[in-house]
Amino acid sequence: MYLQNNSYQIQGVDVLDIADQFGLPLYVYDADKIIQKIDLLRSSFPGVNLKIKYALKALSNLSILKLMRSQGVEVDVVSVNEARLAMRAGYLPRQIMYTPSGNRFSEIQEAIDMGLTINADSLPLIEQIGQTYGSAVPICIRINPSIIDGGNLKIQTGHADSKFGIPNQYRAEIKALVTQYGIPVIGLHIHTGSDFKDGNTFLKIADTLFDLASDFPALRFMDFGSGFKVAYREGDHATDLAELGQKVSAAFQSFCERFGRDIELWFEPGKLLVSESGHLLASVNVVKQNPTRTFVQLDTGLNHLIRPMMYDSWHDIINVSNPQGASTEDGQQLYTVVGYICETDTFATDRLLPEVHQNDVLSFENAGAYGFSMASTYNMRCRPAEVLVYDGQPHLIRERETFEDLMRGQVEIEIFDEVLTDKI
């Protein structure tokens, strides 16, 4: 979102016009930003056979997936319903990596029947696949490297106490199982979490996979997951993709020479590709003065953007209705920005913003990843609509929910009607 001609715009479209056209609250995504991030990632890893697998869980919208597919990006999914959505967007089963996390085996079997690439995350799962399918189903193996890095502990997945992946210490057990059942191992995978501040973490996990590769001569790819740090506010340190890409590409090329052939290098970015593209627009219901602070109460809450309450995440907030105040501290005040949910749902405490009035439109920046995809209908609140700005035009890509949507699936028990009639 850029300030142009005294208005905030996305691809030349006034954000307030988008709000008027589609209503609030509203998620808006900038397709150009997504394409820029794809191009940046691709150009950062020269000289290797790079494959990008978009982590669909970050933003699971059919039109976003079609945009990814148009850019040659494949997908990583964590459920069969995510896989079904990807296939509806036109992806072939062989383009979909399925990474379970303790899923029931019947779902694993569905994924196998669908023809997905299976990323086995536990020794029991490898054994179940071997017992059920013998050598008929090739797999990738998710390794836990016992490395702590990243942001909030809730998104660190590669440390020793994490539920994710098979600890590297069980290397002998992994090899014994795949040998016993003749299971083809075509990939090795590591994902140690999100928001790495030190790009050298990727070099550490690369060494782990390079060492393991000698056990699996049929490897076709190595998957380093993702975890690239995104800058959420001015001064934030983001992953230097160009520097990281040069180092990892050189290390991977050296490995391929030792391995005796070239294999594919995979990454599974989610946040990197969609975070900066997303904006959650909301209207100000009330500006409420308390003795200790001034609250800005919005027509949205943790039901639409849970990250600040769940991860203590920072999102820049723009007063779209007061662009003149954005470039100077004149007229700015400290506000605590909160939602309309019946419990604490604070977006920002003591945030300096251009003066806010009732009915102003505020925008939460960097809201593309894990915003709508983690949204709920808590308090019987409807989820927002979603809009994609593509080629200078806003397109509705998800309708706003209605009360009828909230009631869908609920079943009334008729016996209560009889009881209630008797009490009249």
Give the residue numbers annotated as catalytic, written as ranges.
Answer: 342
Parallel, antiparallel, or unpaired: how do β-strands 2-4 and 185-189 relate?
unpaired
Angle at 281 between CA 41 and CA 327, to 5 degrees: 80
Q: What is the DSSP string of 288-337?
A: EE-SS-EEEEES--TTT--HHHHH-----EEETT-GGGGGSSTTEEEEEE
C-alpha–C-alpha distance, residues 313 and 396, integer Å = 27
Residue 394: alpha-carbon gap to chain centroid: 22
Residues in contact with 32: Cβ distance below 8 Å, sequence separation at least 6, in sequence order: 11, 389
Kind plus residue range of the DSSP H or E element containing 403: helix 403-407
Structure tokens at 382: 């409807």
CA atoms within 13 A on the CB side of 8: 24
* DSSP label of 224: -
